[in-house]
Amino acid sequence: MSDTARLQIGENSYEFPLVKGTENEVAINIKTLRTATNGVITIDPGYKNTGSCESAITFLDGEKGILRYRGYSIEELAEKADFLEVAFALIFGELPTKEQLEKFHKDIKSNSVVDDDIKKIVDAFPKSAHPMGILSSLTSALTAFNPSSVNVDSEEDMYNAIVKIMGKFPVLVAWTMRKKQGLPLNYGSKSLGYVENIMKMMFEQPNEDYEIDTVVKDALDKLLILHADHEQNCSTSTVRIAGSSHAGLFASLSAGISALWGPLHGGANQAVLEMLEAIKEDGGDTKKYMAKAKDKNDPFRLMGFGHRVYKNFDPRAKIIKVAADEVLNNLGIQDPILAIAKDLEQEALNDPYFVERKLYPNVDFYSGIIYRAMGIPVEMFTVMFALGRLPGWIAQWKEMRLNHEPIGRPRQIYIGENLRPFKSIENR
Ligand code: CMC
């Protein structure tokens, strides 16, 4: 293959270099397009064909259903690694040695207290507030309580900011849930592992000792790993673009949490469970909902189906489907909506509408069923996604800053009114 691309506009021809990734992905580098062509730009709604950066963190092949973090397959990581190891690999590039992991965990633990005044902010939210709104606000508030800006060129500064947020974010997640449940805002224990500590902070009741259920712990570890990064998705792109103005890490993360909230992105896990419940309440007629999803006059979409990049299957969904069966069996829970979900999946896999559009179950289709079995309220599902995605967002923000990427600032094609004279209010 030639290493340039030729573009013809009218009489003029322009040449642009091709960029090749380590997995042979190819892009046309149009950095000089506007200058060379005297003002022509590209337009690509939803950035379906636009690469925003070169990145060494996550590789995703949507056609083949491949997902790898730092070169390691998601299947192997989900089976063999724990969440903190995966977080370390995403953020620092390599799986940690035993010593590195211990130090990372120790530093996180010594940063896992948040300013007590944050409790006042939590208190001020109405109980009806959506947990994602609370989490985004509290993450932003962390900036106010930790105002020193990070000198990204100092490895030490960068490391300190990372262990700070890795320590404090789970506390905010737990408090967000406890606020909704009217439980005291507590802390975990330094003697526990990272994920065990999260569970204690979330689930411990004020009047009983908390015992870790290993089935729940293993499932949570797996879910967090599966959500840990997904290259340039909506929330990650938001984190990178907010950070590209040199906004701090916590402020950029808060922006990412808001982007994740939407039902077309992370909010889909809540939407899936609500959809499955609605189908159950409506008598379990999956065919009726399949027909609604295909009807172009009906805004209903089959939540948890389809993906911008995966056009074969979502490898995370495969792992989560097996995990859902295991967790429910091990906890002795029979959830009728699991059967509804499986029926919907079977019907969709055999339906020309879904087959032609390459719509398969995505990561959110089965995850909510596991979260519910763990005792996590539906409104908290997207918060759990955010908890898992934290290391990915950090890694992407760090990479963007260390690569000294320019501020993200797309252009537009203006389609509004041309210059016209001002009309005084009496004449409008
Ligand atoms: N149900 C019914 N039809 C669908 C669905 C669905 N879930 N998803 C896509 N389609 C149709 C869509 O109507 C369009 O049909 P047509 O070509 O006739 O106009 C075609 O499939 C292509 O869809 P699109 O909206 O152009 O695709 P996209 O890449 O812009 O959107 C998506 C991807 C994930 C936003 C979309 O599939 C969707 O809304 N899915 C449901 C929400 C969901 O589960 N989101 C979680 C995504 S995975 C977790 C994450 O990373 O956030």
Centre of ligand 1 to C-alpha 365, Å, is: 13
3-class DSSP assignment, residue 186? coil
Q: What is the pLDDT of residue 35?
A: 97
Decide whether any atom of ligand 1 lies within 6 Å of the 301 Cβ: yes
Q: Is 265 a catalytic residue?
A: no
- The two structure tokens encoding residue 21: 């990734």
Q: Please name the residue whose Cα sits nearest to atom 39 of ligand 1.
A: 264
Q: What is the pLDDT of residue 149?
A: 76
Which of 105, 130, 230, 307 is the catalytic position?
307
Give rounded-to-5 percent helix, strand, coil for the chain.
Answer: 55, 5, 40
Q: Please name the residue whose Cα sits nearest to atom 32 of ligand 1.
A: 307
DSSP class of 10: T
Decide whether any atom of ligand 1 lies within 6 Å of the 249 Cβ: no
Decide whether any atom of ligand 1 lies within 6 Å of the 231 Cβ: no
Q: What is the pLDDT of residue 147?
A: 78
Decide whether any atom of ligand 1 lies within 6 Å of the 202 Cβ: no
Q: Please name the residue whose Cα sits nearest to atom 22 of ligand 1.
A: 357
- Tell me the pTM: 0.94
Q: How far is residue 149's CA from residue 397's CA, in Å, rounded to a whole number? A: 14
Give whole-number Cα distances, 192 to 85, 87, 252, in Å. 15, 17, 29
CB 183 within 8 A of CB 205: yes
Centre of ligand 1 to C-alpha 357, Å, is: 9
Which of 82, 221, 314, 364 is the catalytic position?
364
pLDDT in tens, the chain (428 residues): 789 999 999 999 999 999 999 999 999 999 999 999 999 999 999 999 999 999 999 999 999 999 999 999 999 999 999 999 999 999 999 999 999 999 999 999 999 999 999 999 999 999 999 999 999 999 999 999 987 778 889 999 999 999 999 999 999 999 999 999 999 999 999 999 999 999 999 999 999 989 999 999 999 999 999 999 999 999 999 999 999 999 999 999 999 999 999 999 999 999 999 999 999 999 999 999 999 999 999 999 999 999 999 988 899 999 999 999 899 999 999 889 999 999 999 999 999 999 999 999 999 999 999 999 999 999 999 999 999 999 999 999 999 999 999 999 999 999 999 999 999 999 99
Q: Is 307 a catalytic residue?
A: yes
Q: How far is residue 253's CA from residue 260's CA, in Å, rounded to a whole number? A: 10
Q: Please name the residue whose Cα sits nearest to atom 35 of ligand 1.
A: 264
Task: Please report which residue ranges of 146-227 form alpha helices under DSSP H.
Answer: 155-181, 194-203, 214-227
Q: How far is residue 316's CA from residue 75's CA, in Å, rounded to a whole number? A: 8
Centre of ligand 1 to C-alpha 359, Å, is: 7
Decide whether any atom of ligand 1 lies within 6 Å of the 359 Cβ: yes
Decide whether any atom of ligand 1 lies within 6 Å of the 357 Cβ: yes
**Residue 325 burial by Cβ neighbours in a 10 Å radius (0-12, 13-18, 19+):** middle
Decide whether any atom of ligand 1 lies within 6 Å of the 305 Cβ: yes
